[in-house]
Structure 1
Amino acid sequence: MTAQRHGQIIAVDPEGIAEYKRLHAAVWPQVLEMISACNIRNYSIFLKEPENLLFAYFEYVGSDFEADMAKMAADPVTQDWWSRCMPLQRPLDTRKEGEWWAEAEEVFHHD
């Protein structure tokens, strides 16, 4: 199965950058296990300052993205993790309805 590549963008509160970095320097093991259990691989988050934008990239290797994302969203540990991260994030005004992180279109890829 070929991986589906995803790119996502969100802003981060300038006053929350240090906390966001601190959280992600030591992601809880249960959160990492859930990410893997939901068929996400090669997951990275990048910070662009001074614009204070986060860019996430991951590869989805499963067969039912919506079901795997629902599984992740239902996990109590993940919910607790998100409750710490989400207040630091600022969704883009231009995101599509239902998105928290705005999906970015892939316009080029080279292996």
Structure 2
Amino acid sequence: MSCPTEPKSILHAASSADASLFPAAPAAAAGSSSSSYPGSSSPDDVAAGRRFGSIIRLRPECVAAYKECHANCWPEVQKQITECRIHDYVIYHDPETGLLFSSFKYTGDDFERDMALMRENPRVREWWSMTDSYQEASLRGGLVPGAQSSEAGAPSWWKPLDEVFYQA
């Protein structure tokens, strides 16, 4: 099976003013508050920033395309990430398991509002559509039962993780 979009066409689709990064924004479960999102740090830490960690599996045939598109991130999406108070954002890849691990710090005071703003951005949705296609389709109902896509909201496309240890 081949990767849905080859890196060359990804770069072609992005104008010289384009390039971005944001894996699926973790969406809080329906009815939960922004301070109770699984995987976040304590609500008392909101002023200092809440930390989020999540995982998803990358399709083996899409590793090169995924890395290349993230090496050429679209500026509009990077700008939206910053405007939504996301900082220290990083994605790691484990080639043995195919897992992607993402981590970021949220410094705002209304996570759901900021993630709604993220989802409203057409370029962010375009980015998510592209990067979702590189991720394991078997995860729909797998790591996150019921997840459909990055832009679908709850449940999150990426599986949220619980923070176990932090040292500043």
Interval of TM-score (by shorter of Structure 1 and Structure 2): over 0.9
88-97 or 18-27: which moved more? 88-97
Which one of 102, 124, 149 corresponds to residue 56 of structure 1? 102
Unpaired segments ≥5 residues, structure 2: 1-46, 147-154
Q: Name the structure with the higher strand share.
A: 1
Structure 1 counterpart of 2:76? 30
58-67 or 82-91: which moved more? 82-91
Structure 1 counterpart of 2:156? 99
Are residues 1:10 and 2:56 paired?
Answer: yes
Q: Given that residues 56 and 143 in structure 2 are in contact (C-alpha distance below 8 angstroms), is that contact kept between their aligned partners in structure 1?
A: no
**Root mean square deviation of aligned Cα:** 1.2
TM-score, structure 2 normalization? 0.64
**1-structure distance, mates of 2:117, 2:95:** 33
Cα-to-partner distance string for 1:34-53 (whole Å, 9 max, x where unaligned): 00000100000000011100
Unpaired segments ≥5 residues, structure 1: none
Q: Secondary structure at 1:89's aligned position in 2?
A: coil
Aligned length: 111
Letter in 1 for 2:167: H
In terms of Rg, which structure is larger? 2
Runs of 4 or more, structure 1, over 6 Å off, are: none
Cα-to-partner distance string for 1:25-68 (whole Å, 9 max, x where unaligned): 01101110000000100000000011100000000000000110
Q: Percent identity?
A: 38
Letter in 2 for 1:106: E
Shift of 1:96: 5.5
85-94 or 27-36: which moved more? 85-94
* CA distance 1:7–1:16, change in 2 (3 Å): same
TM-score, structure 1 normalization? 0.95
